[in-house]
């Protein structure tokens, strides 16, 4: 396997070649090398939550072959109101970290409409004969009746496992051994501002400051990028919002001063999350991220803003 990024040959033929380095993580490529064939794969589900608050659970179909899921796309009109938790049914491991907000906005998972697909921070190894559970929710009673959402997982189907079975461990480029299935996409979501008592609705008051904390987890977490979800009509106010991140228990913070929201998160809503951080940052087990936010706007408060850090669990299950 030649990993020289300066090669200019185009991989052709019946296989999806490993030379498409822009689309493959080292973990995904190490897994795929244990199979004879790699085929494009798409799995589409449709959900209609109707009038909020509403909840719905659905499952993917069991696959006859192993799959690597690289990302997702969603077709929907009401993207600020659709929230999602994904769990691998057989292991019970959720993608969204347990927190006061037990889900992530659909825009944290997927590019929407004409924005095109979005990649997950890490490919998910989806073993054959298993299912993913999707728990959908829309919790804001002020939202309108929602239009349906069509959600598509995008990945690669792996056929012809070498040795007759899926690998249990793979060797990473640095020589370390990683258990297959241990690098799981992770979404850390928190509300912007203060939560209304007894609800999942957040209000970020004008001319105010708020401090929120991400949950501490039982293993290290690689944080790759971030996603921002606000309701329609707030884009003109969001450009004024400021924040800084501090890793609790670690002396150095991410930002010595407050920076604009969109320098972290990109444009809110329909677009792909902001560019990946220059290098994934590892949050040690049991440590928490503090997010200090300032809303200097004189206008009305911003409601239901959700901030999501996207990364990878580094747990050895």
Q: Does the pLDDT at position 41 exceed 70?
A: yes
CATH topology of domain 184-314: Jelly Rolls (2.60.120)
Query: pLDDT per residue over 188-206, tens digit each?
Result: 988 888 877 656 678 888 8
Domain boundaries defined on the chain: 21-172, 184-314
Instruction: Find the mean pLDDT for residues 87-110.
Output: 89
Confidence grade of residue 252 (pLDDT, cut at 50, 70, 90): low
Q: Which of 94-108, 122-136, 168-182, 270-284 has the highest mean pLDDT?
A: 122-136
C-alpha angle 297/301/304, rounded to 5°?
Answer: 125
- Identify the burial level of 73 via C-beta atoms within 10 angstroms of its C-beta, where 0-12 means exposed, 13-18 middle and 19 or more buried: buried
> pLDDT: is 239 or 123 the higher one?
123
3-class secondary-structure state, position 151: strand
Q: Does the pLDDT at position 22 exceed 80?
A: no
Which pLDDT score, from 0 to 100, does residue 64 have? Answer: 93
Give the β-pairing of 66-75 and 111-112: parallel
- Asked if 21-172 and 184-314 have one fold, the answer is yes
Letter string b/e over residues 124-149, b meaning 16 or more CB atoms within 10 A of that residue's CB:
bbbbeeebbbbbbbbbbeebeebeeb
Which pLDDT score, from 0 to 100, does residue 13 have? Answer: 38
Which pLDDT score, from 0 to 100, does residue 149 have? Answer: 93
CATH topology of domain 21-172: Jelly Rolls (2.60.120)
Q: What is the mean pLDDT of the chain?
A: 82
Instruction: Find the mean pLDDT for residues 209-225.
Output: 87
> pLDDT: is 100 or 66 the higher one?
66
Can you tell me the distance from the alpha carbon of 281 to that of 271, in angstroms, rounded to the nearest whole number? Answer: 23
Instruction: Find the mean pLDDT for residues 109-128.
Output: 89
Instruction: Find the mean pLDDT for residues 246-267.
Output: 73
Can you tell me the distance from the alpha carbon of 96 to that of 88, in angstroms, rounded to the nearest whole number? Answer: 11
Q: Does the pLDDT at position 315 exceed 80?
A: no
> pLDDT: is 3 or 263 the higher one?
263
Q: Does the pLDDT at position 1 exceed 90?
A: no
């Amino acid at each position: 396997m030649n990993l020289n990024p300066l090669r200019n040959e185009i991989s052709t033929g019946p296989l999806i070649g490993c030379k498409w380095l822009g689309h493959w993580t080292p973990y995904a490529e190490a897994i795929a090398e244990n199979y004879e064939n790699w085929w494009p794969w798409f799995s589409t589900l449709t959900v209609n939550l109707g009038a909020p608050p509403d909840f719905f659970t659905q499952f993917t179909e069991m696959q006859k072959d192993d799959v690597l899921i690289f990302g997702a796309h969603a077709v929907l009109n009401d993207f600020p109101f659709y929230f999602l938790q994904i769990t691998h049914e057989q292991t019970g491991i959720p993608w969204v970290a347990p927190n006061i907000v037990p889900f992530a906005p659909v825009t944290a998972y997927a590019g929407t409409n004409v924005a095109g697909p979005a990649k997950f921070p890490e490919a998910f190894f989806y073993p054959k004969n298993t299912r993913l559970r999707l728990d959908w929710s829309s919790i804001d009673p002020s939202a309108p009746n929602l239009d349906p959402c069509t959600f598509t997982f995008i990945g690669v189907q792996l056929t012809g496992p070498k040795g007759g079975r899926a690998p249990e461990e793979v060797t990473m480029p640095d020589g370390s051994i990683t258990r297959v299935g241990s690098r799981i996409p992770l979404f850390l979501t928190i509300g912007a501002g203060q939560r209304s008592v007894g609800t999942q609705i957040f209000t970020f008051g004008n001319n105010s400051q708020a401090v929120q904390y991400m949950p501490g987890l039982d293993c290290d977490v690689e944080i790759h990028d971030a996603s921002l979800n606000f309701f329609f009509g707030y884009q003109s106010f969001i450009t004024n919002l400021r924040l800084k991140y501090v890793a609790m228990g670690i002396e150095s913070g991410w930002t010595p001063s407050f920076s604009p929201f969109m320098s972290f998160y990109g444009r809110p809503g329909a677009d792909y999350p902001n560019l990946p951080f220059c290098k994934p940052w590892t949050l040690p087990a049991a440590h928490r991220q503090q997010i200090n936010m300032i809303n200097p706007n004189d206008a009305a408060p911003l409601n239901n803003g959700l901030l999501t850090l996207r990364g990878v669990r580094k747990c050895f299950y």
